[in-house]
Amino acid sequence: MRGAPPATRRLFLVAGSLFIAGAFGFEMLSAQVVALAGGSADWQQAGGAPKIAVGLLTSVEEMLEMLAGVPLVDASLRHLRDHIGVLDIGFARSSS
């Protein structure tokens, strides 16, 4: 991506940063909460607060991972536009 315009490179970096923040950052926070609650062996007996915290952290993690797709698709379409020109996508009716 060295030859890509700065705006496109920036979008790719934003997408990667969002994905890494969700995949590693919030995953590690969830693991820390599980460890503080006694580990995975005692998870069934853990109280409600750790389970709620892990549920919320997992939701944020998944949201960040999915949200990373937005700038990734935008950057990809910008890159295609810059290299191909007009990008026209349409739908055709079936003949049957």
Query: What is the model's pTM?
Result: 0.72
- Residue 67 half-sphere exposure toward CB, CA atoms < 13 A: 13
What's the rounded Cα separation, in Å, for the pair 1 and 9? 7
Q: Domain of residue 27: give its range.
A: 6-84
In a domain, 14, yes or no: yes
Count of domains observed in the chain: 1
- According to the model, what pLDDT value does residue 16 have? 93
Question: How many Å separate Cα 64 from the centre of its chain?
Answer: 4
In a domain, 21, yes or no: yes
In a domain, 91, yes or no: no
In a domain, 42, yes or no: yes
Cα dist. 51→25, 34, 45, 60, 85 in Å? 18, 8, 10, 14, 50
pLDDT digits (tens, 9 = 90+) for 70-93: 999 998 888 888 888 776 778 888
In a domain, 95, yes or no: no
In a domain, 93, yes or no: no
In a domain, 48, yes or no: yes
In a domain, 94, yes or no: no
